[in-house]
Every structure is written in structure tokens, then in C-alpha cells.
């Protein structure tokens, strides 16, 4: 099978990620199917779907994001595989939001990118059965007085482990690795925040695509009005570990973009970046608990 082509490269050259995808297509890593196409970049479009710079910057949330309970059950020795179905111990996961925030400053607003859709699928499990490292994601939305925004609608979207979005996006040629994915809505969903302002999702660790650090998009609506569009990121050491050791991700190689050269988080002051970096911990069943307090109004 030939490696996927790139319209902005010499016809005879193959970049590192194309080789990795070719290996994946030959079923050397677990995928839903055998084979995928390269990411089209038609008409000189930017090589990543989120090429715009942030439209606003703000100070990081100065409040102490509460991490997972240190007295919780010991973590597994390795990250789980098998997607969200592998969250066998979910009922025992600790509450990562036990500490009260002392100060809450607005997180940066960023571009929503061309890979959003009009869908607002009300569901907790957004994986649609896809393979990947299972992630229990909690976003606690608060205002600048640290009051939880109960009843806010939180919408998320991100890529599968291949680095592809899904759905009917404004630019499927750029956003989808397989055009058949336009009929699916994997890794998209929306939830109403509970009385504590927390929206929970069961998902999988995202894949990477050229020009972006690994991230999850989110949008918050309060009273039906969009108050914040932004992105959350994973600690870089965790990302490097997963793309080195995890059987679902290691065949794709390391992401070509880190925080320093990402055109979203890389343009946010280093002191403010922690407001958009998830707190993560490995649970006893090998799933990842990822959480963040985000100030959005």
C-alpha cells in the first residue's frame, strides 16, 4: 500500500508521520480498520486545521486546581487500552475538584478552528466505540468569582488516535483522514454542568496531526450564549510517554509540535499556560483521569 501523499511536498518525499501511518495501515498498531488516507491540504491551506492565533489572551487561573486524591487506590503499572469500555473501576475514581479555588481569572479564548460541527450531542461517552487510551475528562466551569456555573452547556471535540476529526465540518478535506468519517461523530459531545459546575465525559486520548500539540477543543454556553471557546492540553511529558510506549499510539511517532512551537498555546505567556494544561493521573484500571477548572465568564 502506498504512503499517503501530501500536496505541499515533493511527490517523491515521504515524511516521518506518513511512514508511521503506512505501518498502521498494515495493521502493526491496533486500528478500527486497515488503511487510511493522508490529510488533504487543498489549495495551499495551512497544514493544520487550527491555524489561527488566539483572539484573546488572559491570565491563568490563579486558584489551586485540585489534583486527584493522593489517598486513592494505587494506579496501574501501565496505561489501559481498549477505549472507554476499559474503565472497569470508574465508580472508584477520586473527585479531582475537592479543593476550593481562591482566585479565578479568565482562560484564553482561542480559535474554534474549521473542524467544529453544528452537532451538540448530549452524551457522556463520546468515543463511539473507538480504540484508545480511556480518559475520564472533567471540566469544572466557574466565573471570575469562582462560582460554579451549574447548568452551563459544555461542548467538546477532538481527534481519534489517528489524528482525524469526524462529522460534517466546514473543511472535511483538511479535518478528516477518511471522508467516510463525515458520517460519524466520534469524540464529539456536549453535557450540562452539574450543581458543582462540572461536565464529565468518557473519551480517549487524542491523536496528533501536523502543526498542533495534542489538545481538546471546548466551548461553553451559559443561558444559551457562547461565553468561551478554548482548548485544553495534556502535560508534555505524559504525551511523550504515550506516543513512545502505548500500543495504540506508538506507531505514529512523537508529535511534531510541542507547546513552544504550537500556534495556540505557544503564543500564550508561559506563566499563563498552566490554566489550559490538564491535571492527569493514572487510575487503578489504567485509565486516565484528566481534569481542569476553567474560568469562562
Q: What is the pLDDT of residues 57-106, one digit of tens each?
A: 333 343 444 455 545 566 789 999 999 999 999 999 999 999 988 889 99
Q: What pLDDT shows up at residue 49?
A: 75
| Secondary-structure class of domain 51-295 per CATH | mainly beta
Cell of 225: 450564549
Question: Looking at residues 24-43, what average pLDDT do you find?
Answer: 35
Whether 280 shows a pLDDT value over 60: the answer reads yes
pLDDT tens per residue across span 239-255: 999 999 999 999 999 99
* CA 83 to centroid of chain Cα atoms: 14
Q: What pLDDT shows up at residue 100?
A: 85
Q: What is the overall mean pLDDT for the chain?
A: 83
Q: Which residue has the higher pLDDT, 72 or 184?
A: 184
pLDDT tens per residue across span 247-279: 999 999 999 999 999 999 999 999 999 999 999
The rounded percent of the chain whose pLDDT value lies above 90 is 72
Cell of 272: 499563563
Q: Which residue has the higher pLDDT, 45 or 212?
A: 212
pLDDT tens per residue across span 103-145: 899 999 999 999 999 989 999 999 999 999 999 999 999 999 9
Cβ atoms of 72 and 90 within 8 Å: the answer is no
Q: What pLDDT shows up at residue 75?
A: 75
Q: Select from 118, 185, 192, 129 the least CA-distant residue to 158.
A: 185
Q: Tell me the CB-side half-sphere exposure of residue 101, using CA atoms within 13 A.
A: 26
Q: From residue 43, how far is each of 6, 7, 74, 182, 210 by CA, in Å?
A: 12, 9, 51, 21, 17
Question: Looking at residues 180-200, what average pLDDT do you find?
Answer: 98
Q: What pLDDT shows up at residue 102?
A: 82
Whether 3 shows a pLDDT value over 50: the answer reads no
Q: What pLDDT shows up at residue 51?
A: 63
pLDDT tens per residue across span 138-174: 999 999 999 999 999 999 999 999 999 999 999 999 9
Cβ atoms of 206 and 188 within 8 Å: the answer is no
Q: What pLDDT shows up at residue 41?
A: 34
Domain spans of the chain? 51-295
Whether 176 shows a pLDDT value over 50: the answer reads yes
Q: What pLDDT shows up at residue 101?
A: 80
Amino acid at each position: 500500500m502506498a504512503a499517503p501523499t501530501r500536496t505541499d511536498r515533493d511527490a517523491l518525499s515521504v515524511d516521518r508521520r506518513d511512514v508511521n501511518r503506512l505501518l498502521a495501515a498494515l495493521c502493526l498498531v491496533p486500528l478500527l480498520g486497515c488503511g487510511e488516507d493522508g490529510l488533504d491540504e487543498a489549495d495551499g491551506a495551512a497544514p493544520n486545521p487550527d491555524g489561527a492565533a488566539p483572539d484573546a489572551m488572559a491570565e491563568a487561573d490563579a486558584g489551586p486546581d485540585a489534583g486527584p486524591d493522593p489517598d486513592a487506590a494505587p494506579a496501574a503499572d501501565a496505561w489501559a487500552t481498549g477505549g472507554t469500555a476499559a474503565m472497569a473501576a470508574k465508580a472508584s475514581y477520586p473527585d479531582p475538584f475537592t479543593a476550593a479555588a481562591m482566585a479565578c481569572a479568565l482562560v484564553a479564548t482561542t480559535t474554534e478552528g474549521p473542524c467544529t460541527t453544528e452537532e451538540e450531542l448530549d452524551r457522556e461517552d463520546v468515543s463511539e466505540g473507538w480504540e484508545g487510551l480511556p480518559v475520564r475528562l472533567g471540566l469544572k466551569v466557574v466565573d471570575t468569582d469562582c462560582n460554579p456555573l451549574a447548568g452551563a452547556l459544555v461542548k467538546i471535540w477532538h481527534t481519534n488516535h489517528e489524528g482525524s476529526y469526524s462529522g460534517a465540518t466546514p473543511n472535511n478535506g483538511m479535518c478528516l483522514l477518511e471522508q467516510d468519517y463525515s458520517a460519524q461523530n466520534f469524540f464529539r459531545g456536549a453535557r450540562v454542568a452539574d450543581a458543582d459546575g462540572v461536565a464529565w465525559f468518557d473519551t480517549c486520548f487524542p491523536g496528533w496531526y501536523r502543526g498542533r500539540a495534542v489538545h481538546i477543543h471546548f466551548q461553553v454556553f451559559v443561558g444559551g450564549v457562547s461565553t468561551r471557546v478554548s482548548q485544553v492540553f495534556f502535560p508534555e511529558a505524559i504525551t511523550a510517554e504515550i506516543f513512545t510506549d502505548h500500543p495504540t499510539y506508538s506507531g505514529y511517532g512523537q508529535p511534531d509540535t510541542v507547546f513552544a512551537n504550537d500556534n495556540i498555546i505557544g503564543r500564550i505567556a508561559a506563566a499563563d499556560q498552566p490554566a489550559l494544561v490538564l491535571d492527569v493521573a493514572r487510575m487503578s484500571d489504567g485509565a486516565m483521569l484528566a481534569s481542569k477548572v476553567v474560568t469562562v465568564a
